[in-house]
Structure 1
Amino acid sequence: MKNVKIIFFDIDGTLIDMTRKAISDKTVETLLRLKERGVKICIATGRAPGSVPKFDGVDFDAFLTFNGSYCYNSNDAILSTPIPKVDVERMIENAARINRPVSIASKDRVVANGADEDLIQYFGFSKQAVPVSDDFDDVLNGEIYQIMMGGRKEEYDDILKCVENAKITAWWDRAVDIIPANSGKGKGIEAILEYYGIDRSESMAFGDGGNDIEMLQTVGTGVAMGNALDNVKEVADEVCGTSADDGIYHYCLENGLI
């Protein structure tokens, strides 16, 4: 295995098994042992900063959140790319026309103007309730990094009607994350690699969802989980075991990373 200096991990379906909705002891052990060997470990998720889980004893070096729209570490904001306000307002109007409530995310707050079955289940994957709030309009006045809403593929054109600088990324077929058009996990990884002065060839990532494709293509070695979608496995350099079977642990052990 080439000299790996940094590894990016998706959360849901990668670090966390979606059946148990928990990280395994072996996966925590892997993260700790990587740190002991001097490998930087980074979260790469569609979640907001405030909903990134904490794992006992594990200190991540950097966080790529909102699918790359906001990246940071304990000292600096490494990348900040909000959605243009005009596009945020258009998408909220578009959502209303198709009777879809939306959740918007600033750096510090996630609020929603309502909830439907798809949005409720989407938030439920990370053990959260849809944060319906009376101060939705107040948060809307600030910088918005991501919009989350229920949405099937046939609704995508309606959601993005007259929107110029935002795009849909999705890891589930009943909901979408909407991020800036010039954002994505790949862009976030490029910014973090530049920040730390690490070459792409020295980077690795683990992921399972459609929003991880760009990430796996950006790093030196992209590893798809055994439970990943088929189109994710197709673009990955390698495939490891499932999250339920401690795929990350066994891959790192077998390849001399830990």
Structure 2
Amino acid sequence: MPERSTSPKIAFLDVDGTILDHGRRIAPSTVRAVREARAAGHLVYLCTGRAAGHIPQAVLDIGFDGAVTNGGAFADAGDVRVHEETMPRAELDALIAHFEKYDLHYLLQSDERVYAPEATRAALMQHLQTAQVGKVEPQTSPQEGFSAEPIADAPLTQIAKAVFFTEQPGAVDRAKAEFGGRFHIVRGSMPLPGGSDGEIGLPGTTKGAAIDKVLEHLGLDRADAIGIGDSWNDIEMFDVCGVGIAMGNADPELQKLADEVTSTVLEDGIFTAFARHGLVR
């Protein structure tokens, strides 16, 4: 086993599929890994596509030094906000028009909340009810992080990210073709129903770009950083961090883009990665 690292490192952890078994369970070894690493003097940050207010309490209770949220639109180092970016209304209006033109379910994310039309909210609830059949008891409420408030309540000047899903195949490629480089569009990372789903933010708004802001604020180098994730919005995190680690449950094509692959979310994936790099014993 590697010796415990004596130089401080900073780890950035995705939530769904990395800390959480897609909204349900957390491996006890993950809790141990995060707490032991922090006790040893390392920093551990969340790095998620979720809005801050939709991170399950069971995850927050583990204890972290800061967070990158909304796929990189916001970044907090402790209580200090080091990065914030929301969509101009013209861009947001173009997205909503696209969603409505193609009859896509969609959600809009602010810093703290998620908003959706009634049809989308109903589809989400149906999916959550279906997902409960035959499942083991979760550690987090299945509604936590996936419920949405009425779209009429959305603060349209404070939206940072959009998520869409549909039974139609090819919706992500169609959005990329229609918008070109106007937005950063990736395949969705949340377990939503339908044939295809995607995440949309402003160009340059990525987890990797936000991590750079955090590192600059803390006076750390990219070489000090470890990024662990399982989704397509983690690619830029892998690129920025000195070591990018894909979970064993990640898409095999995504695993090829990481420096290393660890075990799955419930098979001690985070602890194994931390031990490999000396953050824990």
**What is the TM-score of this pair, normalised by structure 1?**
0.88
Q: Which moved more, 1:246-255 or 1:108-117?
A: 108-117
Summarize the Cα distance change of 1:253–1:193 in structure 2 as closer, same or farther, 3 Å threshold: same
Residue identity matched to 1:167: H
1:244 shift after superposition? 1.8
Residue among 61, 64, 80 paired with 1:60: 64
1:147 and 2:162 correspond: yes
Larger RCO (CA within 8 A; separation ≥ 6)? 2
Alignment partner of 1:44 is 2:47 = yes
- Equivalence for 1:208: 230
Q: Partners in 2 of 1:37 and 1:132 — Cα distance?
A: 40
Query: Is the alpha carbon distance of 1:68 and 1:119 closer, same or farther for their aligned partners in structure 2, counting shifts above 3 Å?
Result: farther
The answer to whether residue 79 in structure 2 is matched with residue 75 in structure 1 is yes
Q: Is the 8 A contact 2:73 2:206 kept in 1?
A: yes
Contact kept in structure 2, 1:4 and 1:203, CA below 8 Å: no
Matched, 1:257 2:279: yes
CA deviation after TM superposition for structure 1 residue 98, in Å: 0.9
Give the match's secondary structure for 2:119: coil
Q: Quick one: distance in 2 between partners of 1:227 and 1:217?
A: 19
Question: Residues 90 and 140 from structure 1, CA distance in 2 versus in 1: closer, same or farther, beyond 3 angstroms?
Answer: farther
Q: CA deviation at 1:162?
A: 5.2
Task: Give the C-alpha shift of residue 101 in structure 1.
Answer: 3.1
Alpha-carbon separation, structure 2, partners of 1:4 and 1:153: 45
Q: State the secondary structure of the residue aligned to 1:193.
A: helix
Deviation sequence 1:43-75 (CA, Å, 0-9, x none): 000000001123475321111001001111342
Q: Which runs of 5+ in 2 are unaligned?
A: 132-140, 190-194
Q: How does 1:133-144 map to 2 (within 5 A)?
A: 133=150, 136-144=151-159
1:233 is displaced (CA, Å) by 1.1
Task: State the shift of 1:130 in Å.
Answer: 3.9
Distance in 2, Cα, partners of 1:71 & 1:189: 8
Match of 2:101 in 1: 97
- Alpha-carbon displacement from aligned partner over 1:66-116 (angstroms, at most 9, x marks no partner): 100111134221111112210110110111111113211122321112334
> Is the Cα contact below 8 Å between 2:207 and 2:233 reproduced in 1?
yes
What is the rounded CA distance, in whole Å, between the counterparts of 2:147 and 2:203 in structure 1? Answer: 25
What residue ranges of structure 1 are gaps of 5+ in the alignment?
Answer: none
CA distance in 1 between counterparts of 2:36 and 2:126 reads: 32
Corresponding position of 1:185: 207
The percentage of aligned residue pairs carrying the same residue is: 27
Structure 1 residue aligned with 2:249: 227
Q: Is the 8 A contact 1:95 1:159 kept in 2?
A: no
- Quick one: structure 1 residues 229 and 80, their matched pair in 2 at CA, closer, same or farther if it must change by over 3 Å? same
Give the Cα–Cα distance (whole angstroms) in 1 for the partners of residues 69 and 240 of structure 2. 16
Matching residue's letter, 2:156: N
Distance 2:83 2:243 in 1: 23
Give the drift of 1:168. Answer: 1.2
Code of the aligned partner of 2:184: K
Quick one: structure 1 residues 164 and 228, their matched pair in 2 at CA, closer, same or farther if it must change by over 3 Å? closer
**Cα gap change, 1:87 to 1:153, in 2 (>3 Å):** farther
1:28 matched to which residue of 2?
A: 31
Deviation at 1:15, TM superposition (A): 0.9
Asked if structure 2 preserves the Cα contact closer than 8 Å seen for 1:106 and 1:142, the reply is no
Aligned: 1:241 with 2:269: no
Do the aligned residues in 2 keep the contact of 1:34 with 1:40 (CA within 8 Å)? yes
1:120 alignment partner AA:
L
Q: Which runs of 4+ in 1 moved over 6 A?
A: none
Deviates more, 1:190-199 or 1:71-80: 71-80
**Structure 1 residue aligned with 2:116:** 112
Give the TM-score of the pair, scaled to structure 2: 0.81
What is the one-letter code of the residue matched to 1:77? R
Determine whether 1:131 maps to 2:135.
no
Structure 2 vs 1, CA of residues 122 and 187 (structure 1 numbering), >3 Å: closer, same or farther? farther
Question: Would the aligned equivalents of 1:170 and 1:176 in 2 still touch at CA under 8 Å?
Answer: yes
Alpha-carbon offset, residue 166 of structure 1? 2.0
Deviation at 1:24, TM superposition (A): 1.3
Q: Matches of 1:15 and 1:24 in 2, distance apart? A: 8
